[in-house]
Structure 1
Amino acid sequence: MNKTGYTEVWNLDKLFSFGHNSRQFHDHIQQLEGKVSKLEEKLKAFNKISNINESSKVESIIQQIADIQINLSQANSYVTCLLAQNPKDQNAMNLRAVTFSTNARFESPLKRFQRIILNTSHQLWEDIIETDELNRYKFILDEWRKKAEILLSEEEERLVSDLMVDGYHAWGQLYHSLLGSIKVKLKINGESKELSVGQTINLRSHPNEDIRKTAHYEMEEIWKENEELFSQILNHIAGFRLEVYKHRGIDNVLREPLIENRLKEETLNAMWVVVSKYKKPFIHYLNEKAKMNGDKKMQSYNFWAPIGKSKQKIEYEDAVNFILEHFSHFGSELENFARQAFDSEWIEAEDRPNKSTVAFCAGFPVSGESRVFMTYGKRMTSVLTLAHELGHAFHNYSMKHVNGINRQYPLSIAETASTFSEQIILDAAIEKTDATEEKLFLLDEKLKRSVMNFMNIHSRFLFEKNFYEERKQGFVSPSRLNELMQDAIDEAYVGSFENASSHSWVWTPHYYLTRSPFYNFQYTFGYLFSLSLYAKSKEKGKAFEREYLELLRDSGSMSTEVLVLKHLGEDITCEDFWEKGIKLCVKDVEQFINLISS
């Protein structure tokens, strides 16, 4: 029997009581500071690795680093949640400044340790990482050794870390505060409303075209009014990053995100070549859908519009039960985990003003929990977002018992787990219905995901790549940013999209992340990779869940190429791998066209 009465508001007090006034949180930070101090002291007395017998000492340092990392993650996630539920929470902003400071301070001893292992002779290094104490950390230690090659001097890196707090981290924080404070005034069914950006974005899938169109143009006006301010934020974030790169001797702006995602550039290039090669079927899909609205080309404000006859409103309770039902068809562990998330009040989904616009999942590794944040809009898109974020949370759960530093998995693989969960829900819904119009509606929702990953995400990648090249020469004006955005959209959609937002660079928060640039290609990677995994799950049934969990657990301890080769036996530097996934999406287009014809 389905449960009733799921809460749409999360519980953060179980993590740290009393929110931004939490004494428990302040104690946590003080303990963290103490742990960083102990690490600093230990490293002062340990300048180099002299012989293989020091493997136990190295392991002890690794354990200290891992402990600090998971406690920092706990603190960072908590503050992120506080600011998401109320971007104007000044006390939470103060806590963010404190956590930024602790993060920056930790960077110095971490980089010092990376230098120590870099300065170890090649032969001694090869011997020591094969010892019983260090062998399980071999991949991460080799990765740290490579990262140390591009570091500045210890004093310079400490200065950079200190500057980041009030440098581009502060600019990123300002961006989210500004975006969260914007209100959009609209008339919906004759009633005047003041909505947040997140609530307004949810209207893109509203069944009424006039509402979708009005919301689109109202937001465009707001972006135009604020473009000067947002362009300054974007330019300062990019400028700071490029200055650091210049001093580190990094010319290729993709180098850092490729290292962070444990990907080779040839892998990324192979993926985009295949995506570009197979765009024609998706242009056909867009044109056919445009015709259904009486247009020659797809209007951007109609892209997310539902088609066919379907239940337009899906209550939150129904969405939860729908997800649990179909997760259970994949495997009991996924179902039980999702049930725990709902029952334990890990989900913030209430549709209310003054929330952040960005859906996310925050991991709390110390307590072995996650929190999911979104604004639930009672439509299929919201159901899919909920499933997507639960996929991230399941990935966190799968790493629960993985040792220390091997928990840190790249964003590209993180998007695989989330996209996989979306696939389960959407494909199950398509298979469940025999009604042509309902199937058409759901298939359209699936194809939107393909277009988003093969066209929209591609446009984001192209924009960011071109923007950084121009930023190297100086400040990029708002009008030029609009041109770069429009050019990227035209290229990625091959001219099949009209009235697209040339201000996408303003309201796409991924451009303003200060952790690393280029948080875009990971979605396309995860989407195509998840298709391969999903195909295997269909072949093997519930027995595949165990293999899936093993892949997720390995995701923090090997390169992405090695991970896929180990678990799928595929070489992702070759175009053949990517073609297998995208051809499955082409079949969806063919099915869609056949349904329209019938």
Structure 2
Amino acid sequence: MYSSSEKLPHWDLSNIYPGLDSPEFEQSYGKVVSLLDNLDEYIERKQISRSDALSSDADLSQLSERITEMVDRLNTIFSLVYTLNSYVSSFTSTDSYNTQAKRLYSQVQAQIVRAQQAEMLFAGWLGGIGNNLSEIIEFNSTASEHAFYLQDWADRSRYLMSASEESLASDLSLSSLRAWRNLQGTITSQLSIDFNLDGEVKSLPLPALQNIRRYNPDSVVRQRAFEAEIKALESVREPLAACMNGVKGFTNVLNQRRGREDAIHPSLETSRIDRATLEAMLSAMQSSFPTFRRYLKAKARRFNKKSLPWWDLFAPVGKYNRKFNWSESQEFILDNFGSFSGDLAAFTRHAFDQNWIDAEPRDGKRGGAFCMRIPDLEESRVLCNFDGSLDQVSTIAHELGHAYHIECQKGKKFLQYQTPMTLAETASIFCETIIMESALQAASSLDEKLAILETILVGDTQVIVDISSRYMFEKEVFERREQADLSADELCEIISQAQKATYGEGLDENHLHPYMWAWKPHYYLEDISFYNYPYAFGLLFSTGLYAIYQQRGVEFVPQLQDLLASTGLANAADLASRFDIDIRSIDFWEDSLEVIRQRIERYLEL
């Protein structure tokens, strides 16, 4: 709870549009619809599809003209429609009661689907023109500037169905995949659990109950919260199991029809890594489990236990007494960012001064934190729920890292800055590390050092150990779903076995969390599966880069800026090679995990 009298900021959106009902917003929406109508007409007239490309007698200059036209149109449309999307999202995320914003959001989403359908047709056409694409890239400046995007989509087009089938799948996703996702979100967000806290029975939403389960200082209260959470999720397990089966079953069918190797294959493509990279990283992570179990058992001993029950995984250890008001949090972030780069500090000062951050928790505002791009303005906006804690200061630094990544891509066009999640966390985790390492060095007591190290290691454990369990769970669910629907009992059994395999003796096997599958939204996303291992990639890649920064100092800064500017222009392996990093080798991942191992050793010494 934020107790300072200092008012927390709301973000300023006035330079985007004056309001949801403003003529400017309405004009932009009308423009997107018109641009998409014109694009659909152009695609039909110029026969932009895979089948048309294979049978076309167009010469090289005609093909070149179509590439230029399609790239220019898609850049303009995507930039505008996602500006509209971000603007509307800024209202839905801060005021869930705003029915006008919800209606406009659904309308904008429909236009995004139209743009994506056009892009799929273009991708199929690119794959159909074959070697002509390489020749065109050599002499066409637009094609050359977008070479990675064009070649990437041409390669991925091998796994597209026919144009009519892809269009049908896209249309059906609104009432199938997205409907299952929305149902899961509605069920879990509307759960209300009666809970006795400090002698008063309150009706709590699931996230509030989970925060008590994680962070309440009283172990008995944490256990009661855990038991209430399990009971609540058990009450809705059947519809949630149906959602899981619906999403995974539909996705399996699409993967099979598209000729995919397996369920993991599409995620490798969107992550811009290959299977060798994933296997090297997962192998290194698995080898690190014994080290994490040492940390977990050491934490258990602090509670006079042999191993941790689930409700103690996040339990606070040590004590960090400092509370930040908003001005102090800004000063702390600016001072520490400045020690890394004056450019990063100046950008952050601009974000603070221009009110890019919405920090005040309030009724109707979503929890958590995020950073969103405003494409047409080349700006960002950050949402958080500031409570004065070091954890929230670190969260703000993390989201400002995302904003700085966007700043480094300034001048790039929409199709040039699309960043895979594996690389999207690079700047954010880097900035978060700057803050937490500084706080650790400035800690004035062993109790403070312990509390800060505990906060860091809880996060590391989630990203390495728990993410591994989620990956194992999702992989097995996809495989078993090919044969039949999975019951709620089977889903509970799969996640429990995955938790045992990863946490091992560090976790009390009598007190696992068999319903982690039920409330995690990542499993129900319609457009991406395995929304788990990219987090581990992001943490370990950024940790490796931070270690290089500690060796090289200021000369590293422009190299990092160049990397951030280029994350939409190359695959992960090529970008990593700029730092002599081989992400296909287990050695790099083990070196990054060694940094975490050293943190654990410091923790064990306290």
**TM-score, normalised with respect to structure 2:** 0.91
Per the alignment, residue 474 of structure 2 pairs with: 464
Partner AA of 1:110 in structure 2: E
Stretch moving more, 174-183 or 548-557: 174-183
- Worse overlay, 434-443 or 476-485: 434-443
Distance 1:373 1:472, change over 3 A: farther
Q: How do 1:257-268 and structure 2 match up within 5 A?
A: 257-268=267-278
Partner Cα separation in structure 2 for residue 7 and residue 344 of structure 1: 14
Residue in 2 aligned with 1:572?
Answer: 583
Q: Is the 8 A contact 2:401 2:428 kept in 1?
A: yes
Residue aligning to 1:593:
604
Distance 1:341 1:535, change over 3 A: same
- Could you say which residue in structure 1 is the equivalent of 2:178? 169
Letter in 2 for 1:273: S
Q: Residues 532-571 of structure 1 correspond to what in structure 2 (within 5 A)?
A: 532-566=544-578, 568-571=579-582
Deviates more, 1:219-228 or 1:203-212: 203-212
Q: Measure the CA separation in 2 of the matches of 1:14 and 1:328.
A: 28
Relative distance call for 1:110 and 1:392 in structure 2 (3 A) is same
The answer to whether the Cα contact below 8 Å between 2:467 and 2:536 also exists between their aligned partners in 1 is: yes
TM-score (norm 1): 0.93
Distance 1:290-1:170 versus aligned 2 partners, 3 A rule: same
1:390–1:418 contact (8 Å) kept in structure 2: yes
What runs of 5+ residues in structure 2 fail to find an aligned partner? 48-52
Partner of 2:484: 474
Amino acid in the other structure paired with 2:567? S
Note the 1:92-103 alignment, pairs <5 A.
92-103=101-112
Counterpart for residue 205 of structure 1: 215
The match for 1:29 is 29
Residue equivalent to 2:514 = 502
**CA distances 1:96-154 after superposition (whole Å, capped 9, x unpaired):** 322232122223321222222212142x2221112251222111111110121111111
In structure 2, relative to structure 1, the CA distance for the partners of 1:229 and 1:15 (3 Å cut) is farther
Alignment equivalent of 2:429, drawn from 419, 435, 439: 419
Matches within 5 A, 1:261-340: 261-311=271-321, 313-340=323-350
CA RMSD, 1 decimal: 2.3
* Structure 2 residue identity aligned to 1:94: R
Q: Deviations over 1:225-283 (max 9, x none)?
A: 12222222222222222222222222411111111111101101100000111211111
Distance of 1:81 and 1:463 partners within structure 2: 34
Instruction: Write the mapping of 1:348-367 to structure 2, written as runs, cut at 5 A.
Output: 348-367=358-377
Contact 1:180 1:357 in 2 (8 A): no
Q: Contact between 2:9 and 2:360, CA under 8 Å: does it hold in 1?
A: yes
Task: Name the structure 2 match of 1:221.
Answer: 231
The one of 136, 148, 165 aligned to 1:128: 136
Contact kept, 8 Å, 2:297 with 2:308, in 1: the verdict is yes
Match of 2:442 in 1: 432
Which amino acid in 2 is paired with 1:551?
L
Deviation at 1:290, TM superposition (A): 0.7
Match of 2:417 in 1: 407
Query: What's the CA shift string for 1:45-95, capped at 9, x where partnerless?
Result: 323552157534422321111111222222333343333334454433332
> Does structure 1 retain, via aligned residues, the 8 Å contact 2:35–2:77?
yes
Q: 1:50 and 2:51 equivalent?
A: no
What is the identity, as a one-letter code, of the residue corresponding to 1:91? Q
Provide the rounded CA distance (Å) in 1 between the counterparts of 2:406 and 2:7: 22
Moved more, 405-414 or 235-244: 235-244
Within the alignment, does 1:447 sit opposite 2:457 as a pair? yes
Amino acid aligned to 2:153: W
> Which sits farther off after the overlay, 177-186 or 438-447?
177-186
Contact 2:8 2:326 in 1 (8 A): no
Moved more, 198-207 or 573-582: 198-207
Give 3-state SS (helix, strand or coil) of 2:146's partner.
helix
Matched, 1:107 2:107: no
Q: CA shift at 1:500, angstroms?
A: 3.1
- Structure 1, unmatched stretches of 5+, are none
Distance 1:68 1:294 in 2: 59
2:526 matches 1:517: no
Partner of 2:539: 527
Query: Cα distance, 1:515 vs. partner?
Result: 2.2
Matched residues in 1 for 2:191 and 2:353: separation? 33
Query: Percent of aligned positions with the same letter in both sequences?
Result: 28
The aligned length equals 590
2:381 and 2:45 mapped to 1: Cα distance? 40
- The answer to whether 1:582 aligns with 2:583 is no
Structure 2 counterpart of 1:181: 190
